Amino acid sequence: MRAYEIVLAGDLILDVPEPDHWLAGLAPLLDRADLAIGHLEVPHTLRGSERGGDVPAPGTDPAALAALRRAGFDAVTLAGNHIADRGPEGIEDTLAGLAAAGIAACGAGANLADARRPAMLPLGPYTVALLSYNCVGPETAWADEGRAGCAYLPLATADGRPVAPLAPIDRLTDAAREILETDVAWVREAADLVIVALHKGIVHTPAVLAPYERPVAHAAIDAGADVVVGHHAHIARGIEIYRGRPIFHGLGNGCVVTRALAPDQAHPARAAWARRRKELFGFEPDPAYDLAPFHPEAVNAMLGRVTWRPGAAVRAGILPVDVEPPGRPVGARDPRAAEIVAYVTAITEKGGLPPIAFSRTPDMWEIR
């Protein structure tokens, strides 16, 4: 019985021209997989108006979605803190554009039922269920029975304020656990493999996991998920094997090229956010990375990779990715690949996770 290869990418933002160029360095890694999944961070629309609650991302040209398909992406998750930034029109246009491009999606919709609906992905004669949840707010982005938005897990903050990306989110709630148990149990009846994607974590900060991150990831595995994927922080996080199943706590940036984070722009809220980065997170972006002005350590990037054979345990590892100026990700070669593997090994331990080690195989750096 053959094994199937799945590649997992973090955040995807393509709001500059020539999206095929920016994705070209990842395309060979995606093309070798049977299934490639990423997280689409922003709405792709030319319509809508800004919705408050977070620093709003601009709408991106819907034409860029076809480039994701040409690069090899089969599916994307949408439950994040920016997908509702252009209101219901932005979500509607994004879903329509993805469908037109032949890319499956889950995690956002015209109402909560639509947003929680899984993507059921063919994998040879088998089926992979993909579920997507926002853990970081803002609550204004969350779908309800009559409002477009994203699927979410209602976590709790330390001081009782609403859930938002900079709020002190600190614990898993019974309601969040029940959502995972309900949704995973439902898809398990029709799927051979279940992947849960969580938009979670502390942005622009190396290694550190928020107090809720391991409990919510563990809850997904306890509910029956086979793989858990994290994104949102725009920098890689450590990897954990829990009950024999992989948790990629943060895949960092898949491909993020944007001018929305530049301090010299007309939009006052985005310009102010860019100027506050050093104050909030203690770093100044490298000016050579003007399209990806993130923490300097964010150049140590990766794709998650899992090998699944029916009836056997999932094998997991990474494909090291280097981010070249001004923000283009490319599959890393030695010695850079070995440096990135060492970095992921180090941040896993620094983040308070059980130590891991990698061995090199023909198709990935595998966790052993």
CATH T-level assignment (fold) for domain 4-367: Purple Acid Phosphatase; chain A, domain 2 (3.60.21)
- Report how far residue 135's alpha carbon sits from residue 169's, in angstroms, rounded to the nearest whole number: 9
Q: Distance between CA atoms of 128 and 110, rounded to whole angstroms? A: 23
User: Helix, strand or coil for residue 269?
Assistant: helix
pLDDT confidence bin for 106, thresholds 50/70/90: very high
**Please, what is the angle between helix 213-223 and helix 174-188, to 10°?**
30
Which pair of tokens denotes residue 279?
């104050």
**CA nearest to 197, candidates 150, 162, 243:** 150
**Angle at CA of residue 264, ends 199 and 326, nearest 5°:** 60
Q: Which residue ranges make up each domain of the chain?
A: 4-367
Helix (H) or strand (E) holding 345: helix 336-350
Confidence at residue 101, expressed as pLDDT on a 0 to 100 scale: 98
CA of residue 86 relative to chain centroid, distance: 19
Q: Which helix (H) or strand (E) holds 178?
A: helix 174-188
Q: What is the rounded average pLDDT of the residues 87-101?
A: 97
Please report which confidence band the pLDDT of residue 91 belongs to, taking 50, 70 and 90 as the band edges.
very high
Give pLDDT tens digits for 155-206: 999 999 999 998 999 999 999 999 999 999 999 999 999 999 999 999 999 9
d(CA 327, CA 288): 9
